[in-house]
């Protein structure tokens, strides 16, 4: 069992190295994600025990790529309102989609968002689960600086024949951890006449696998 667990962690490290670069930091973070992918959350103290080192650099990288999200929030549950505090007593959660990508990587050694999205939405019972990976791929193509408007998502849904499900699909994409509303961009929202969402960068990089 321990050998199988170590093999899976090595696969995850290999997959992450292709995305985030080789090095000790990626190795440490892969160990943390392997744990979080099973449990769903990880505490500061647990991270210290897992990597046997100061978690700061690993948590900064995880936050930058939205691999782990602080549970503590300022106001809402949107990513921009999450408060990254690196000290005892804090805890961090793994977004649903990252959990599925990590699980896939533990088995295959590849960071494959496409397969993970399909698997997640199939398990959610989404009637259009086979089209969701393509929906996310097109969102990624149109997103500038990992941002996209609700109107852009609506047009993509229209082109895919999903125009009757725009609101429910956006809600599912948020719940999956693929996008998150940017509530602070009121000027942009006013200019665009549409909500603005942040795209999870860790999902975007694995869609071409």
pLDDT at site 37: 96
Which CATH number does the domain housing residue 121 bear? 1.10.10
Same domain as 95, residue 11: yes
Whether this model's pTM surpasses 0.85: yes
CA dist 73 and 157 (Å) reads 31
Nearest to 17 by CA among 105, 137, 83: 105
Q: What is the pLDDT of residues 48-99, one digit of tens each?
A: 999 999 999 999 999 999 999 999 999 899 999 999 999 999 999 999 999 9
Same domain as 44, residue 131: no
SS3 content of the chain, % helix, strand, coil (to 5): 60, 10, 30
Choose between 194 and 64: higher pLDDT.
64
Q: What is the pLDDT of residues 118-140, one digit of tens each?
A: 999 999 999 999 999 999 999 99
CA dist 149 and 21 (Å) reads 30
Q: Quick one: how far is CA 119 from the chain centroid?
A: 14
Whole-number average pLDDT of the chain? 91
- Choose the final residue of a domain: 83, 105, 127: 105
Same domain as 193, residue 176: yes
Same domain as 83, residue 42: yes
Same domain as 200, residue 119: yes
Choose between 207 and 150: higher pLDDT.
150
Same domain as 128, residue 200: yes
In a 13 Å sphere around the CA of 2, the CA atoms on its Cβ side amount to 0
Same domain as 90, residue 133: no
pLDDT (mean) for 158-179: 96
Choose between 77 and 185: higher pLDDT.
77
Same domain as 101, residue 6: yes
Specify if 159 maps to a domain: yes
pLDDT at site 122: 96
Confidence of residue 1 (pLDDT cuts 50, 70, 90): very low
């Amino acid at each position: 069992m321990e050998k199988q667990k170590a093999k899976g962690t090595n696969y995850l490290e290999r997959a992450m190295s292709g995305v985030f670069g080789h090095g000790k930091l990626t190795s440490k973070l892969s160990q943390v994600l392997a744990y979080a992918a099973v449990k769903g959350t990880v505490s500061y103290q647990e991270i210290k025990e897992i990597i046997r080192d100061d978690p700061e650099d690993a948590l900064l990288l995880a936050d930058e790529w939205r691999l782990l999200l602080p549970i503590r929030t300022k106001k809402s549950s949107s990513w921009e309102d999450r408060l990254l505090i690196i000290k005892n007593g804090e805890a961090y959660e793994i977004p649903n989609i990252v959990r599925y990508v990590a699980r896939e990587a533990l088995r295959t050694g590849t960071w494959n968002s496409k397969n993970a999205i399909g698997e997640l939405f199939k398990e959610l019972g989404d009637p259009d689960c086979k089209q969701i990976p393509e929906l996310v791929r097109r969102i990624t193509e149109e997103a500038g600086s990992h941002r996209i408007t609700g109107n852009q998502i609506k047009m993509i849904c229209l082109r895919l024949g999903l125009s009757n499900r725009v609101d429910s699909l956006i809600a599912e994409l948020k719940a999956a951890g693929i996008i998150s509303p940017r509530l602070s961009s009121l000027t942009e929202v006013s200019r665009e006449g549409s909500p603005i969402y942040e795209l999870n960068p860790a999902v975007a990089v694995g869609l071409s696998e």
